[in-house]
Structure 1
Amino acid sequence: MEIGVVFPQSEIGSDPAVIRDFAQAVEALGYSHLLTYDHVLGAHPDREPRLIGPYTHETSFHEPFVLFGFLAAHTQRIGLVTGIIILPQRQTALVAKQAAEVDILSGGRLRLGIGTGWNYVEYDALNEDFHNRGKRQEEQVTLLRKLWAEPVVDFTGKWHRIDRAGLKPLPNRRIPIWFGGNNEQVFKRAARLGDGLIPQFLPNDAGRATLERIDGYLASHGRSRAEFGIEAQVNFGAGPEKWASHADAWRVLGANYVCVRTMNAGLETPQEHIDAIRRYKAEVG
């Protein structure tokens, strides 16, 4: 099991030198990857239906593809993981182009985590339908893979039409697509279409039972976890007495990656985030 770091989107600030230094610290400390969250717009929660998600118009977010293009030039080894890109609120062909470019410029280090999101205001502002986002995402995954593999694509779907067109340059490999989410529909969709899952549950008895159901969904499609990854997250704010046990519990459950999140842990400066991942690495290894 490899260990990564969640990019502290809402607390890192906007100084490019600080962002560079944080990513280089992640790499120098021997972490395997950097995972970043996604929101295009934050919305004021006072509306109907009321927004009840964890972020508002006051929360900062760097755009993941632009961020990863910047970090590709300032790092050499670490993987660059979206956890997750809210795919159905974005144009599929544009995502294919952006992801291919990040993968090319980083030397094949992108892992594209995707999800459907919860902020309907973003969908409205981006002129996409919030209510069919799950089904549309399935077609998007099919189209992304075609666009990354074929120089000329002729595709007709329910929501997409591409008439003999393609990306150039193409990525040099099959970019992995992982699904994020925490309901049975996401688990089934990931087992059928995805290369892995970024879950939001804990490594306890309920989490074990969920993974057993996912194993069943994989088996129904002739697949197994040997070809399907799990990326868990652990909270730095849980404290050192839980860090190792939490990571060990995920290891026992067969997770391929665990990612430490330092956001919302009471850290006040970017340097404190670097000190936190240094401490976590020393204790968990």
Structure 2
Amino acid sequence: MQFWSGTPFMKTSEILPLARMLDEAGYDGMVTADHLIYPRDLSSPYPDHPSGKPPWEPETAWPDCWVQIGAMAAVTSRLRFSNAVYVAPARPLLEVAKQVATAAVLSQGRVSLAVGVGWMREEYEVLGQDFTTRGKRLNEMIPALRALWGGGWVSWSGEYYQVPEMMIEPHPETSVPIHCGGESEAALRRAARLCDGWVGYAYGWAEAVSYANKITKLRHEYGRASEPFDIMLALMEPPSPDLYKRAQDAGITAVMCAPWMGADLPGEGVERYREPIERFAEEIIGKVR
């Protein structure tokens, strides 16, 4: 079982020292979250809230995923980095290929890419990308990225992307895992058919196991059941070694956790996170491994 932490809603200036703490305490990785803007006139409905409105304030900071990952990699030695999730089809294919490859090389292979189609039409429009074809373009972008990361003269010819033969350097020295986020049927099938893993949200026990079982069934359907595959999600259950051992038995390979969540953190600044991070590592992580 892997233990990952996240950075959303934290002060941007606290992210790097937090990464060092997690690295030193033996956590496996950190995920970044992705939003480019918050438009003055937001008409896109937010899918995970009954009101249709995002639960965060417009001034909430969303640091660029790949700048953040590069900076975290520079101050850590073993921590891995990914996304939950990166809205890749809102960006040009070559931009995504270049950013991820650079981060993979600079981190010495400690990067994976977790993609999703997103929900905010306004972000696509401001970046000049088609919102209506985002799912189909992501389906093509995944194999295209693998081809463009191959090194040497590379190219891609598809329905949505045309890349003439060129070199894109640096290229990853080892394969970059690609995971998919999202709960829709299309997203789950995309993960099972095209990806190396699936990233979910936060669930109670029964719902988490249900998603793990559905992904496993789809992988059998696509003839990929024997291939390595990651399932990462957060569990909305009281943490215990037994909980995470049962999750592992259910096919969940990684959990997102925030040991400081709900705690009365004494002091100020990022040091207030140290005690819950170290306690969780000792009482939970150390007893699961």
TM bucket, shorter chain: 0.7 to 0.9
Alignment of 1:41-56 (within 5 A): 41-44=37-40, 47-51=42-46, 52-56=53-57
Distance 1:254 1:38 in 2: 27
Distance 2:104 2:198 in 1: 20
The TM-score normalised by the length of structure 1 is 0.88
Change in Cα spacing, 1:56 to 1:146, as seen in structure 2 (3 Å) is farther
- CA offsets, 1:109-144, max 9 Å, x none? 001111111122111111111221111101111110
Change in Cα spacing, 1:157 to 1:263, as seen in structure 2 (3 Å) is farther
Q: 8 Å contact 2:200–2:233 — kept in the other structure?
A: yes
Distance 1:284 1:163 in 2: 50
Task: Structure 2: state its 5+ residue gaps.
Answer: 47-52
- 1:68 Cα deviation after fit: 1.3
- 1:187 Cα deviation after fit: 0.8
- 1:164 Cα deviation after fit: 1.0
- 1:270 Cα deviation after fit: 2.9
Distance 2:201 2:221 in 1: 23
Partner residue of 2:9? 10
Distance 2:37 2:144 in 1: 25
Q: Tell me which moved more, 257-266 or 59-68.
A: 257-266
Partner residue of 2:25? 29
Q: 8 Å contact 2:105–2:173 — kept in the other structure?
A: yes
Change in Cα spacing, 1:100 to 1:205, as seen in structure 2 (3 Å) is same
- CA offsets, 1:177-211, max 9 Å, x none? 00111122111110000000112253533433332
- Structure 2 SS opposite 1:261: coil
Partner residue of 2:79? 78
Partner residue of 2:277? 277
- CA offsets, 1:87-115, max 9 Å, x none? 11111111111111111011100011111
Percent sequence identity is: 27
One-letter identity of the residue aligned with 2:100: A
- 1:50 Cα deviation after fit: 4.7
Distance 1:58 1:32 in 2: 30
- Structure 2 SS opposite 1:34: strand
Match of 2:250 among 250, 253, 259: 253
- 1:153 Cα deviation after fit: 2.3
Task: Structure 1: state its 5+ residue gaps.
Answer: none
Partner residue of 1:213? 214
Q: Tell me which moved more, 158-167 or 49-58.
A: 49-58
Change in Cα spacing, 1:215 to 1:284, as seen in structure 2 (3 Å) is same
Q: CA RMSD in A?
A: 2.2
Change in Cα spacing, 1:70 to 1:207, as seen in structure 2 (3 Å) is closer
Q: 8 Å contact 2:105–2:172 — kept in the other structure?
A: yes
- CA offsets, 1:54-86, max 9 Å, x none? 444221111111111112211111111122111
Distance 1:148 1:249 in 2: 37
Change in Cα spacing, 1:116 to 1:55, as seen in structure 2 (3 Å) is farther
One-letter identity of the residue aligned with 1:42: Y
Distance 1:50 1:223 in 2: 35
Change in Cα spacing, 1:269 to 1:262, as seen in structure 2 (3 Å) is farther
- Structure 1 SS opposite 2:165: strand
Give the paired residue count: 275
Change in Cα spacing, 1:181 to 1:49, as seen in structure 2 (3 Å) is closer
One-letter identity of the residue aligned with 2:257: V
Alignment of 1:1-285 (within 5 A): 1-7=1-7, 9-11=8-10, 13-15=11-13, 18-44=14-40, 47-51=42-46, 52-200=53-201, 202=203, 204-224=205-225, 226-234=227-235, 242-244=238-240, 246-261=243-258, 265=262, 269-285=269-285
- Structure 2 SS opposite 1:5: strand
Distance 1:171 1:141 in 2: 15
